[in-house]
Chain A
Amino acid sequence: DTGVSQDPRHKITKRGQNVTFRCDPISEHNRLYWYRQTLGQGPEFLTYFQNEAQLEKSRLLSDRFSAERPKGSFSTLEIQRTEQGDSAMYLCASSPRQGVIYEQYFGPGTRLTVT
């Protein structure tokens, strides 16, 4: 088990473009979370999946953001019409089906820069 992986690790895009990030959770983890972390701040919760169902969405997740988790495996986070304020580190985390289910394991993040 190699842990939570995210791709790409870095993304530079121009304002107005669409971007998509991918997260692969630890295998057999049925819960998957997306967070956003801006410079000098702690991560902020964006959304949460249990299997393929998106169960929670933060008010931070504007209409330009959409997340999916088809088949309950990997997840994608898409940002449409990017703005400079979207520049941040986007973190993915997963937690297991059994045992310490509230413990979240984080990936390395995708750093987005919008120019």
Chain B
Amino acid sequence: AQTVTQSQPEMSVQEAETVTLSCTYDTSESDYYLFWYKQPPSRQMILVIRQEAYKQQNATENRFSVNFQKAAKSFSLKISDSQLGDAAMYFCAYRYAYSGGGADGLTFGKGTHLIIQP
């Protein structure tokens, strides 16, 4: 079974600085998707960025980018020019590329609490 590990329970960064959140995963599959979700306090989870495993190029969405290292099974999230609104729980998630066999649900890590210092 696949597992997702986020080793940083909490991270703190000064506003306007850059922060990197770590995520490692374990899977025997070669085709899968990886995601970073943001969960603000008392608000619903929203997708920040996604990466298809077959793509070598790292995904980028405005101030958010990932460093995807397939061989190392590592998928870190970099947030540039941190803003107060970035404060939230961040979850790394994995999904097998094909349906069936329990693969349709996302497997999440335990999350990293990101604090933005003004």
Interface on A for B, CB 8 Å cutoff?
3-4, 31, 33, 35, 40-46, 48, 55-56, 58, 91, 100, 102-109
Assess the B110–A42 pair: CB atoms within 8 A: yes
Q: Which of B33, B46, B50, B108 contacts A44 (CB 8 A)?
A: B108
Which of B93, B104, B107, B110 gathers the greatest number of chain A CB atoms within 10 Å? B104
CB neighbours of A42 from chain B (8 A) = 4, 91, 93, 108-111
CA distance A91 to B91 in the complex (A): 14
Number of A-B contacts (CB under 8 A): 59
- Chain B 37-74, CB within 8 Å of chain A: the 1/0 string? 10000011111001000000000000000000000000
Chain A residue nearest to B44 (CB atoms) is: A108
Q: How far is the CB of B90 from chain A (nearest CB, A)?
A: 10
Interface on B for A, CB 8 Å cutoff?
4, 33, 35, 37, 43-47, 50, 91, 93, 95, 97, 99-100, 102, 104-111
List 30 contacting pairs A-B, 8 Å CB cutoff, sorted by A: A4-B44, A40-B111, A41-B110, A41-B111, A42-B4, A42-B110, A43-B91, A43-B106, A43-B108, A44-B108, A45-B102, A45-B105, A45-B106, A45-B107, A48-B104, A55-B99, A55-B100, A55-B104, A56-B102, A56-B104, A58-B105, A102-B33, A103-B47, A104-B47, A104-B106, A105-B47, A106-B37, A106-B46, A108-B44, A109-B44
CA distance A78 to B4 in the complex (A): 28
Q: Which of A41, A58, A100, A106 contacts B44 (CB 8 A)?
A: A106
CA distance A55 to B100 in the complex (A): 8
Assess the B91–A48 pair: CB atoms within 8 A: no
CB neighbours of A31 from chain B (8 A) = 104
CA distance A4 to B43 in the complex (A): 13
Q: How far is the CB of B110 from chain A (nearest CB, A)?
A: 5
CA distance A100 to B95 in the complex (A): 13
Chain B residue nearest to A107 (CB atoms) is: B44
Q: Which of A4, A48, A100 contacts B105 (CB 8 A)?
A: A48
Which of A41, A42, A55, A105 gathers the greatest number of chain B CB atoms within 10 Å? A42
